[in-house]
Structure 1
Amino acid sequence: MMYFMIAVKLVIGLAALIIVTRLLGKKEMSQVTPFDFVYAVVLGGLVEENLFKKSFSTIWEMLFGIGVWGLLIFVVEKTTQKSDKLRPILKGQAESLVKNGDIQIKNLNNAELEMEQLKSLLRLKGVFSMNDVKDVILETSGNISVLLKPQAQPPTYAGLDVHAPRTEIAETVVDEGKPVLKGLRNIGKDEKWLNQKLTEEGIQKLDEVYFAEWSESDGFFIQQKS
């Protein structure tokens, strides 16, 4: 009975957490602020707190706690969207760490960052010299946005006055030896076309292919099974 109760609570708790997090919106881990992290931890804690209690009534207590907490977070999210004054208090705000090539020492200290930590973050962005940096912004997620000095920026087609090649988003058409019908529909093709194209590539059987994608600009990328 105890194990059944735990299983029921896990299922119901998971469903409730999924519903709440979907209602509060999608975010990548890189976009999560300290505030978002706290509400996620509390949501998980509400389920964990009631998990090993034996009473069925704790299921309703758990759902009530998740519902109230989710409602509070929803209100805070909507409030911060509409209030420029509350947003930096609850969500934080971006800070300039380097401006026009000058390191903003005060902001660096306020962010509890040392120069070596800043240089480490820059290296993760592919920047290995402060001499190449024009501006650095510390985002509320803890990541940095970097603007390089003009001489350190990679050349672009526009800068070189060269016509850029056409590019298209590649669609997956084969996954683990099976045709991906959605991908084929997205490019206006069918399985007959797929088999014909694979034959042209020297592949006689579809199940020989582990993965394949197609784009109008680049054609096929095919990985056969080993």
Structure 2
Amino acid sequence: MDGAFFTNWNDIGRVLAVGAAAYVSLVLILRISGKRTLSKLNAFDFVVTIALGSTLASVLTSKTLSLAEGVTALALLVGLQLVVTSLAVRSRRFDRIVKSEPSLLLRNGELLSDAMRRERVTPDEVMSAIRDAGATTFAAASAVILESDGTLTALLADARSPGA
């Protein structure tokens, strides 16, 4: 064997030291960046999350990537996400570029087949959202919406608005 199972204690020590430092750095960067960085994931947030995980893994396992380079890469990714989300808040056009619009999948108890096919959602998934809202039939829902973060929201036909 060529040492694939164990090479030396220095490498283990490096992973432990750099890993702990990179982890603490990432937590601090995420805390500074605010709650939005860790919100429910839309497609853009998902990509950033995967990139953060990949970067952290590279810092942990690569002998050629320094801790400073890795922390800089993590900070860059979070910083870019802050810039993009700030632009999305200020510009509706930019927001539509980086996030999908919610989609109506059911209206007044009737499934909208074209929308469901386009969004690749099954009737069982719609029914699950209706059950989560406390009903048991399609007719009990006035609407089911596929949100931009991928969650399904069911609005019940007899739901009363606060103060009504």
- TM-score interval, smaller chain: 0.7 to 0.9
- Mapped to 2, the partners of 1:28 and 1:145 lie a distance apart of 22
C-alpha deviation, 1:7, in angstroms? 1.6
Q: Is the 8 A contact 2:110 2:138 kept in 1?
A: no
Q: Is the 8 A contact 1:101 1:134 kept in 2?
A: yes
Q: CA 1:131/1:28 → structure 2, altered by over 3 Å: closer, same or farther?
A: farther
Determine whether 1:70 maps to 2:78: yes
- Mapped to 1, the partners of 2:150 and 2:56 lie a distance apart of 28
* Structure 1 consecutive aligned stretches of length 4 or more whose deviation exceeds 4 Å: 27-30
Larger fraction in helix = 2
Q: CA 1:28/1:105 → structure 2, altered by over 3 Å: closer, same or farther?
A: farther
Give the equivalent residue in structure 2 for 1:95: 103
SS in 1 for 2:104: strand
C-alpha deviation, 1:28, in angstroms? 10
Larger fraction in strand = 1
TM-score, structure 2 normalization:
0.80
Give the equivalent residue in structure 2 for 1:14: 23
Q: Is the 8 A contact 2:109 2:142 kept in 1?
A: yes
Determine whether 1:61 maps to 2:69: yes
Q: Percent identity?
A: 21
Q: CA 1:27/1:62 → structure 2, altered by over 3 Å: closer, same or farther?
A: same
Give the equivalent residue in structure 1 for 2:146: 138
Give the counterpart letter for 2:30 in structure 1. T
- Mapped to 2, the partners of 1:31 and 1:53 lie a distance apart of 30
Give the counterpart letter for 1:97 in structure 2. L
5+ residue gaps, structure 1, are 160-226
Give the equivalent residue in structure 2 for 1:118: 126
Rg larger in structure? 1
Listed as ranges, the matches of 1:103-114 within 5 Å are 103-114=111-122
Give the counterpart letter for 2:24 in structure 1. A
Q: CA 1:30/1:131 → structure 2, altered by over 3 Å: closer, same or farther?
A: farther
Give the counterpart letter for 1:31 in structure 2. K
Give the counterpart letter for 2:16 in structure 1. A
Give the counterpart letter for 2:78 in structure 1. G
5+ residue gaps, structure 2, are 1-9
Q: CA 1:53/1:103 → structure 2, altered by over 3 Å: closer, same or farther?
A: closer
Cα RMSD (Å): 2.5
Q: May I ask how many residue pairs the two structures share in their alignment?
A: 154
- Mapped to 2, the partners of 1:44 and 1:148 lie a distance apart of 38
